[in-house]
Structure 1
Amino acid sequence: MNIRKRVSGLGVALALVPALSMAGEVTLSGEGSVRYQPDSARLQFTASAEHKMPQQATEQVAAMMTQWREAISPYQDRLQDYTDATVNLYNRTLPGSERGNEPETRAVASQTVTFHIDDLSLLNPLLEQAQSIGLNYHLGPNQFFHSDETGLEREALSKAIADAQSRCEFVAQQLQQSCGDVVSITINGGFRPIPMMMAEAKGSADTVSEVGVREVHATVNATFELD
Structure 2
Amino acid sequence: MPNAIKKHLLAGLAATLIPLAAQAGEVSLSGEGSVKYTPDSARLQFTASAEHNLPARASEKVNDMMAQWRDSISAYRDRLNDYSDANVNLYTRTLPVQERDQEPQKMAVASQTVSFTIDDLSLLNPLLEQAQKLGLDYHLGAGSFYHSDESGLQKQALAQAIADAKSRCEFVARQLDQSCGDVVNISVNGGHRPVPMMMAEAKSRADVVSSVGDRELQASVSATFELD
Both proteins in one fold, TM over 0.5? yes
Q: Distance in 2 between matches of 1:225 and 1:177?
A: 10
C-alpha displacement at 1:15, in angstroms? 3.0
Q: Distance in 2 between matches of 1:74 and 1:203?
A: 25
Q: How does 1:71-220 map to 2 (within 5 A)?
A: 71-98=72-99, 100-201=101-202, 204-220=205-221
Q: Is the 8 A contact 2:87 2:114 kept in 1?
A: yes
Match of 2:47 in 1: 46
Q: Distance in 2 between matches of 1:22 and 1:12?
A: 16
Gapped runs of 5+ residues in structure 2?
A: 1-7
C-alpha displacement at 1:28, in angstroms? 0.5
C-alpha displacement at 1:85, in angstroms? 1.5
Which residue identity lines up with residue 177 of structure 2 in the other structure? Q
Q: Deviations over 1:8-58 (max 9, x none)?
A: 9x9678635422331100000000000000011110000000111111100
Q: Distance in 2 between matches of 1:159 and 1:93?
A: 58
Q: Deviations over 1:200-224 (max 9, x none)?
A: 4366211100010100000101000
Q: Distance in 2 between matches of 1:185 and 1:168?
A: 13
TM-score, with length taken from structure 1? 0.92
Which residue identity lines up with residue 83 of structure 1 in the other structure? S
Q: Is the 8 A contact 1:138 1:201 kept in 2?
A: no
C-alpha displacement at 1:77, in angstroms? 1.0
Q: Is the 8 A contact 2:178 2:227 kept in 1?
A: yes
Identity %: 68
Match of 2:28 in 1: 27
Figure out how many residues of one structure are paired with residues of the other and give that number: 222
SS of 1:177's equivalent in the other structure is: coil
Gapped runs of 5+ residues in structure 1?
A: 1-6
TM-score, with length taken from structure 2? 0.91
Greater shift in the superposed pair: 87-96 or 205-214: 87-96
- CA RMSD for the aligned pairs? 2.0
Q: Is the 8 A contact 1:139 1:200 kept in 2?
A: no
Q: Is the 8 A contact 1:49 1:109 kept in 2?
A: yes
SS of 2:101's equivalent in the other structure is: coil
Q: Is the 8 A contact 1:156 1:218 kept in 2?
A: yes
